[in-house]
Structure formats: C-alpha cells, structure tokens
Structure 1
Amino acid sequence: MAYQFNVRLIPENDGRWTAEVPALPGCVTWGNTKEEALEHIREAIELYLEVMLEEGRQIPEDQSTYTRIEVAI
C-alpha cells in the first residue's frame, strides 16, 4: 500500500537540512543536502510505518496542509 506524507525541510545554519514529518511525531532526520535529507526521511518514514504495522497500530492519514503567508512590517 502507498502512503503520502508532507515533509518539512528546514535549512540549518551549518548548511545541513533537517527533514521532519508532522503527521508522524518524532520522525525526523537530516542530510548534508536537501536531496540527502529527502532520501533519509523516505527511509525513516518506511521504518516508522513498518514499526506501526508490527505493533498493530493504524497508520495515520496526513491531514496537514501548509500555506505560506507574507507579512510586511
């Protein structure tokens, strides 16, 4: 079965990227590049979901949405 999740990418001050999945608490990783962070978070999601299934837990549907709002001050 295929699942889709929103991934939040955060640029860090040292040039690395953090990737997290808001719908899966604690599912966070990083990479030296944006592409590497995305590769790592895909692996983290797969492992996270495998554990959930092994424990008999229901996999959540990602209900999150993101909207960027510009504010001028």
Structure 2
Amino acid sequence: MSKLHLPIIIEQDEDGYYIVSCPSFKGCHSYGKTIEEAMENIKEVIEMCLEELEEDKKKNLNKFIGFRELEVGV
C-alpha cells in the first residue's frame, strides 16, 4: 500500500473550532474542537475523496509547492 503526503491547512474560527482543509481536493474541509479531532475528521473526508478518484488520477494529484502569507491593507 502506497502512502500520500497531503497538505492540510489549519485555521481557527471565532468560536475556537479548528477548521481544516486539504487543497488537493475540491471541497475537502472538516473541523474539530481540537487539532487532533480536526485531523482525524479530515482524514475521513480525504479517504472519501480518494474513493471517488480513478486509480490513475491518484498518482497525479496537484503537487503542493508551499505556503505563503500575503500582507494586505484593510
């Protein structure tokens, strides 16, 4: 069984919940009261996304390059 290493973005909302997203899949988001809970939840969502992908497309997912922060005036 091969393994994928996927990027996960973690944010915290105004109520203290952790919102997690995997940019490799459209609409791949989840949340949890703790980071650990959110990560377990996103793992389940990713597994569902992978089930829907054709086998050859699993090898050709978007390649994660990195994360940058951009400053903008408000």
Same fold (TM over 0.5): yes
Would you say the 8 A contact 1:28–1:44 is kept in 2? yes
Higher RCO (CA < 8 A, seq sep 6+): 1
Aligned residues: 69
Question: Gaps (5+ residues) in structure 1?
Answer: none
* Local SS of the residue matching 1:30: strand
Question: Gaps (5+ residues) in structure 2?
Answer: none
Rounded Cα–Cα distance in structure 1 between residues aligned with 2:56 and 2:30? 22
Runs of 4+ in 1 over 4 A off after TM superposition: none
TM-score of the superposition, structure 1-length normalised?
0.78
Is 1:58 the equivalent of 2:57? yes
Match for 1:43: what amino acid?
Answer: E
Structure 1 residue 67 displacement after superposition:
3.5
Identical-residue share of aligned pairs (%): 26
